[in-house]
Amino acid sequence: MTLRKHKDSMILKVIFSICTVFLLFAQPCHAKPSGDKNVVLVMGDSRIYTDVLAARSAAVSQCLLTAVEKTAIEMIPFTGLTEKFQIISDLLSSQRNKFISDYKVLKEINTDKYYRVLVQVSVSTLKLEEELANAGIVLSPENLPKILFLIAEQQADDISLQYWWRKEKSFFQTDAAVTSMKRIFAEKKFSVIDDEMVPYGLFEDLGLDAELTDGQAVELGKRVNADVVIVGNAIASEMSNRMGENILTFKATVRARGLLTESGEQIALATNSETNVNRDIAAGSRQALADAGFQTGIQLASQILSKWQERMEKTGEITLTITGTDILPYLVLFRNELKKIEGVTSQQTLEMTPDEAVLLVKYDGSSEDLAGALLLKTFEPFGINIYELSENALSIQLVAK
């Protein structure tokens, strides 16, 4: 009987130890978007005058607004933030509560003079995107570059780097780091080229290895019509830190650079490392790779977006005022044909009503050249009448046939 009790006691101790380990390494918040929610950790404070509760409420309120603002900044291009700052600021401050799904005060400190809080806030990106769009805030410029990822990956239990452009790519498992990076770029409205659809014969003659030179990466990008290639590596390894025999620590580092295929110019660069604790080598290293890839994707997307906007701004801007009776059904067709005109690099809707729309078009040419190109287009359900032309503007009437 005594032996049985001893065994039961030992089993309970083992179970307790395992639970303690998981609690020690549990991470309640990764502060990264998941579906419709972006979870943000924010610190705030407020001066205590006479009422401590009022100071606490003010500090929490400050955190909630900051969380919404930080989420919006990640969603809106730089030029949109600067050009429409007042509209954005008014919208976020006046409708803050609409965008907050929930929040939790994690820590709070009363210093006698200040009340300080650490708050975890869940912001609804879907509602925020909807309200920003209603206010005319464009979250991503049109005609963003097509992206090709060329990241070689090595998990902790791999003997060498794995990469999709090798001849035996059917044996290459889905890469953890790039999956996270691709998700970020897709959320930013970039067009990501599906490497699984690229036939090996298209680049077989290049003799590519895991580590690509800038020239090789650019050439491969050109062959699949990419505007930007993101090249680099993602490597995970087991660290010396551990708990007992089974709880292992893994570190992953992602190094990547973005190159324009048109010129080979480097327009983005990022390096990030993340760690993960796990019993399983594959699961632990993949999670560390995914986390490092996520942070790298955020940085690269932001840098590429900024550089691409600068590039677009080098071309001229022409304002198109489009009028007619109930033109909204025709606008999609008109804009699709406008996009096909050589020299048109982007178009942005500034205003829209049932009978009028104003577009800002980036065009490498004069307004007269653009008018001539439009006259050559065929629009089946309607015709166009360009009734006014100036140096940087066109007035166009859509006339139903």
Specify whether 70 is located in the same domain as 153: no
User: Quick check: is 7 in a domain?
Assistant: no
Q: Residue type at 275? A: T
Specify whether 272 is located in the same domain as 320: no
DSSP state of 70: H
* Of 274, 293, 313, the domain-final residue: 313
**Alpha-carbon distance values, 12 to 6, 15, 19, 97 (Å):** 10, 5, 11, 46
Which strands make up the sheet holding 33-34, listed edge to edge? 33-34, 37-47, 114-124, 100-110
Specify whether 202 is located in the same domain as 295: yes
Number of domains comprising the chain: 3
pTM for the complete prediction? 0.53
- What pLDDT score does 107 carry? 93
Local confidence band at 139 (pLDDT 50, 70, 90 cut-offs) = low
Angle between helix 52-75 and helix 125-134 axes, rounded to 10 deg: 70
Local confidence band at 312 (pLDDT 50, 70, 90 cut-offs) = low
Question: Measured between alpha carbons, how far is 387 from 274 in angstroms, rounded to an integer?
Answer: 59
DSSP letters spanning 163-222: -TTSTTGGGPPPPHHHHHHHHHHHHTT-EE--GGGS-GGGTGGG---SS--HHHHHHHHH
Specify whether 383 is located in the same domain as 296: no
Q: Residue type at 115? A: Y
Mean pLDDT (whole number) for 99-117: 91
Question: Measured between alpha carbons, how far is 31 from 8 in angstroms, rounded to an integer?
Answer: 41
Phi, psi of 381 (to 5 degrees): -80, -10
Q: Which residue reads 């089946």 in tokens? A: 380
Q: Is the pLDDT of residue 302 over 50?
A: yes
Q: In this structure, what token pair is assigned to residue 194?
A: 């599906």
Domain range for 65? 33-134
Specify whether 320 is located in the same domain as 372: yes
Question: Measured between alpha carbons, how far is 314 from 388 in angstroms, rounded to an integer?
Answer: 25
DSSP state of 127: H
Q: Is the pLDDT of residue 217 over 80?
A: yes
Specify whether 362 is located in the same domain as 388: yes
Q: In this structure, what token pair is assigned to residue 162?
A: 């794995």
Q: Is the pLDDT of residue 141 over 60?
A: no
Q: Residue type at 52? A: V
Contact 108, 116 (CB under 8 A): yes
Specify whether 127 is located in the same domain as 163: no
Mean pLDDT (whole number) for 60-68: 92
Q: How many Cβ atoms from other residues are within 10 Å of residue 265's Cβ?
A: 13
Specify whether 50 is located in the same domain as 85: yes
Q: Is the pLDDT of residue 105 over 90?
A: yes
- What pLDDT score does 313 carry? 61
Specify whether 192 is located in the same domain as 113: no
